[in-house]
Amino acid sequence: MATWEQFLWVHQGRFGVTSLGIGSSGSSLGSFQEPPLGSSSEPPVDAGSFPLGLKAVVSVNATPCSVSCGPGVKEEQRCEVTPAGELRNCSLVRSRCLSDWLCGLQHLSAAQGKPFQLTCLSPELARLEGRNFGYTWRFSPGLITTNDLLFHPIRNPSPSLRFSPALEAHSGTYRCDVQALSSFQILKRIYFGLRVIPGDLVDLDFQKSLTWEQQQLAANGEEAPGNGSGAAEPEGRRGFWEMLWFYEVVLGLGSGVILGVLMGIVLCCLGRLCSRRAAARINAE
């Protein structure tokens, strides 16, 4: 029969246990292992008698992982279990977590001539892990792709890649792998699709694209008309139609006046012509 120095089983339904560690006083916590096939989940010995010098520690609560992919950090509430099944000496500890190692593709844009940086792992986590992690960078120039056959390696052992400054030649896709140096397991893989925009092609400065009146409104904390609010476009359309209606009215009135004058001239000429013919007939008689 196995001894307490080898393993200790605790009912998960009893404590809501998510993990279990065993260790003697002053030693580090061990990791919880599954029982061998065919063995029972019941304690191999009486749970009411703990050997001296041993303690059971269970994780009763844990926060979600700090990141959605790659290595992250979570907080766990760990408590000691007494022989009577009570929890005591609870404490919060931080531990590493990993939900998914593949982070996908991120699309980024940078202005040419300005410094830019790609970060593969958060600085806080990089400081915590120290030399436990290794970083590998690869680059596919001029393409936005996730085809690993199109990448070639870059010498950069740092978790961040800096451009001082960014150039058009830096456009492309960058792949970063985070590995555990102890096992060479890939803990994170992320792709950065970078587009470097020339400065003379587009101005990314929002303030420079505003008129003087809009800059004054923005400085006072007021929203400039037509600046993303969606109200300026209907007003512009309404003003356009009002102006078009005004032109139509003016054109109609002008056309009517001109036609009236022309009709008056024609009628006047016809009247004079008829008067002359009548006078000529009278003189002939």
User: Most confidently modeled of 160-169, 224-233, 249-258, 270-279?
Assistant: 160-169
Predicted local confidence at residue 171, as pLDDT: 95
24-35: average pLDDT:
36
Predicted local confidence at residue 119, as pLDDT: 92
Q: Which 3-state string (H, E, C) describes the chain?
A: CCCCCCCCCCCHHHHCCCCEEEEECCCCCCCCCCCCCCCCCCCCCCCCCCCCCEEEEEEEEECCCCCCCCEEEEEEEEEEECCCCCEEEEEEEEEEEECCCEEEEEEEEEECCCCEEEECCCHHHHHHHHHHEEEEEEEEECCCCCCHHHCEEECCCCCEEEECCCCHHHCEEEEEEEEECCCCEEEEEEEEEEEEECCCCCCCCCHHHCCHHHHHHHHCCCCCCCCCCCCHHHHHHHHHHHHHHHHHHHHHHHHHHHHHHHHHHHHHHHHHHHHHHHHHHHHHC
Domain that holds residue 175: 102-197
- Amino acid letter, 89: N
Q: How many domains does the chain have?
A: 2
CATH, residue 183: 2.60.40.10
Question: Facing residues of 108 across strands?
Answer: 194
pLDDT above 90 (res 144): yes
Is the same domain home to 94 and 133?
Answer: no
Q: pTM for the full model?
A: 0.51
pLDDT above 80 (res 196): yes
Predicted local confidence at residue 12, as pLDDT: 36
Is the same domain home to 189 and 106?
Answer: yes
Last residue of a domain, one of 144, 165, 197: 197
**Which residues, 6 or more positions from 72, have their beta carbon under 8 angstroms from its beta carbon?**
65, 66, 96, 97, 98, 99, 125
- Amino acid letter, 141: P
34 or 240, greater pLDDT: 240
Is the same domain home to 18 and 90?
Answer: yes
Is the same domain home to 85 and 140?
Answer: no
Distance of alpha carbon 196 from alpha carbon 175, whole angstroms? 17
- Amino acid letter, 274: C
pLDDT, tens digit, 9 for 90 and up, residues 180-190: 888 889 999 99
pLDDT averaged over the chain? 75
Is the same domain home to 21 and 39?
Answer: yes
Predicted local confidence at residue 208, as pLDDT: 58
Predicted local confidence at residue 7, as pLDDT: 33
**Which residues, 6 or more positions from 176, have their beta carbon under 8 angstroms from its beta carbon?**
118, 120, 135, 136, 137, 138, 159, 161, 188, 189, 190, 192
Last residue of a domain, one of 157, 179, 197: 197
